[in-house]
Amino acid sequence: MKNIAVIGSGTMGNGIAHTFAQFGFQVQLIDISQAALDKGMATITKNLDRMVAKEKITEADKNQTLNNITTYTSIKDGVQYASLVVEAATENVDLKLNIFRELDEVCPDDTILATNTSSISITQIAAVTNRPELVIGMHFMNPVPIMKLVEIIRGYTTSDEVMQFIVDLTKKTNKIPVEVNDYPGFVANRILMPMINESVETLYNGVAGVKEIDTVMKLGMAHPMGPLQLADFIGLDVCLSILEVLYEGFKNPKYAPCPLLVNMVRAGKLGVKSGEGFYDYSESRKAEHVAKQFA
């Protein structure tokens, strides 16, 4: 296991590529355009420079990590020698299914196919391939180079051998794998997203303001950031998408997205990436100023 392909060079994809490359793996980073790949590589370089400045790695480590990554705009070219492919494309079920159909066709027969999905069924993804026993979930946390947790999700037909192999591989990148079964939201988002949704409901119903809600959770429950700030960081569109998967999967009204969250996504207020969510990021990426009067 020396060659690992990563599909998607966005926030999660470039973090996954960075992590594997830093631990000595040859990484093939794949995206649909060279511009996207250049942006991803610039992010990796910036993050490595930050690690050098903090004396966590040396300049030689940085250069070796970058040398371990090769970029491709063709899936077929990028995966031809891959022992493992980690898909980190946008959280869209149709897109992911199409990618896995293609991967199944062009990858070597023994290549393990992993998805970084945060909520979509591994079993559903595996079902469009001819190798469901080799399909597994590897849900990394953002920012990938820093966060220790990886949820390892077993699909209905994922083999014991593949499960153990991916657990062991994850440990080699100095991360902590946690094995979970394939149900909507897995563990992380099944617990986190209802908390975020309830925080939005609390704001929507005028119980308290944005800063007040976040302050209660930070100072009262020792969370490093409040749930509304966290939602902005994740992306409100991503939060909405995951809640819709939970609601569709369980048909339980407790997972129904708050109307305020739905309206904000419709209005394009997606959080940090759009410059505004619950907080205004036009001047700083820090959650310093509330975007508007919500209650």
Taking only the tens place, the pLDDT of each residue in 113-157 is 999 998 899 999 999 999 999 999 999 999 999 999 999 999 999
Is residue 118 part of the annotated active site? The answer reads: yes
Assess whether 282 carries a catalytic annotation.
no
Give residue 295's pLDDT.
63
What is the tens place of the pLDDT at every residue in 150-203?
999 999 999 999 999 999 999 999 999 999 999 999 999 999 999 999 999 999
Domain positions in the chain are 3-181, 190-288
**Spatial separation of the C-alpha atoms in residues 56 and 50, rounded to whole Å:** 9
pLDDT class of 26 with cuts at 50, 70, 90: very high
**Looking at residue 2, what is its pLDDT?**
87
Element containing residue 46 per DSSP (H, E):
helix 34-53
Torsions phi, psi for 279 (to 5 deg): -115, 160
CATH topology assigned to domain 190-288: N-(1-d-carboxylethyl)-l-norvaline Dehydrogenase; domain 2 (1.10.1040)
Calculate helix-pair angle for 11-22, 59-67, nearest 10 degrees: 110
pLDDT at 236: 97
Is the CB of residue 202 less than 8 Å from the CB of residue 227? Answer: no
Catalytic residue among 118, 119, 121, 241: 118
How far, in Å, CA of 275 to CA of 253, rounded? 31
Q: What is the pTM of this model?
A: 0.92
- Would residue 189 show up in a list of annotated catalytic residues for this protein? yes
Active-site residue identified among 139, 197, 199, 241: 139
Catalytic residue among 189, 197, 199, 241: 189
CB atoms near residue 59 (< 10 Å): 10
pLDDT given at position 1: 67
59-109 pLDDT per residue, tens: 999 999 999 999 999 999 999 999 999 999 988 899 999 999 999 999 999
- As to burial, measured by CB atoms within 10 angstroms (0-12 exposed, 13-18 middle, 19+ buried), residue 107 is buried
According to the model, what pLDDT value does residue 97 have?
97
At 285 the pLDDT is 85
CATH superfamily of 3-181: NAD(P)-binding Rossmann-like Domain (3.40.50.720)
Percent of the chain with pLDDT over 70: 99
DSSP tag of 255: G
Residue 77 phi, psi dihedral angles, 5° rounding: -70, -35
Catalytic residue from among 83, 151, 197, 241: 151
